[in-house]
Chain A
């Protein structure tokens, strides 16, 4: 176990709805990244938060947004859900020092959009 927890583990939503996924980072970590992993693919970087500010974003539309809280936990929000948003969403936390650091992953949230 990495100490990174995500909730919920599974979720079914209807197209057009909004969803919020949550991540509690490992104790002492100040950076959280979110990834989308479609079935049979490698994870794709959505964005990263460092000290409550977005610090890098992948090729995802603005309807994907996030927050990081003072305790370094994080949320991923997706508005106007589309069928292609069905995927495993992974959260990873790390301690950003500028040197090599390891990212610890949670077990992910499986989102199904119908």
Chain B
């Protein structure tokens, strides 16, 4: 079975600075997708960034980028120029490329932005 581990229950960063959230996963599959989701107090899961395992290039979306290390099964999220609106729970998630589109989530990291 696939598992996703986020070892940082809480992180904090000063506004405008950079923070990195860690995620490791375990799978025997070679083809899969990895995601970072943001869950603000409104509870709705919002997709931040997605990485296809077959792509070596790290995904980037504006201030958000990932460091995908396939051999190490590591998938960290870097947030640059942190803004107050970035404060939320962040979840790392895994999905197989084939079969049911089941997302396997980590336990989450609560990110606090200090003004």
- Residues 75-92 of A contacting B (Cβ, < 8 Å): 88, 90, 92
A48 near B100: Cβ-Cβ < 8 Å: yes
Given A88-B43, A105-B45, A108-B44, the answer on whether A42 and B102 have CB atoms closer than 8 Å is: no
B52 near A58: Cβ-Cβ < 8 Å: no
Given A100-B33, A105-B44, A105-B45, the answer on whether A56 and B99 have CB atoms closer than 8 Å is: yes
> Which residues of chain A are within 8 angstroms of B45 by Cβ–Cβ distance?
43, 90, 92, 105
CB distance from A7 to the nearest CB of B (A): 14
Q: Does chain A have a CB within 8 A of B104?
A: yes
Chain A contact residue count (CB 8 A cutoff): 30
Flag the segment in B12-20, B63-71, B78-86, B105-113 that touches A: B105-113
B50 near A42: Cβ-Cβ < 8 Å: no
CB distance from B112 to the nearest CB of A (A): 15
> Which residues of chain B are within 8 angstroms of A100 by Cβ–Cβ distance?
33, 50, 52, 97
- Residues 81-95 of B contacting A (Cβ, < 8 Å): 91, 93
Q: Does chain A have a CB within 8 A of B103?
A: yes
> Which residues of chain A are within 8 angstroms of B33 by Cβ–Cβ distance?
100
Q: Does chain A have a CB within 8 A of B30?
A: no
Determine which of B42, B43, B101 lies in contact with A103 in the assembled complex, contact meaning CB atoms within 8 Å.
Answer: B101
Closest to B47 in A: A102
Closest to A48 in B: B100
Q: Does chain A have a CB within 8 A of B62?
A: no
B102 near A58: Cβ-Cβ < 8 Å: yes
State the CA gap A2–B39 with chains docked (Å). Answer: 13
3 closest A-B pairs by beta carbon, nearest first, are A56-B100, A42-B105, A105-B45
A sample of 13 more A-B contacts (CB under 8 A), given A56-B102, A101-B101, is A35-B103, A42-B91, A42-B93, A43-B91, A43-B105, A48-B100, A58-B102, A100-B50, A100-B97, A105-B44, A107-B43, A108-B43, A108-B44
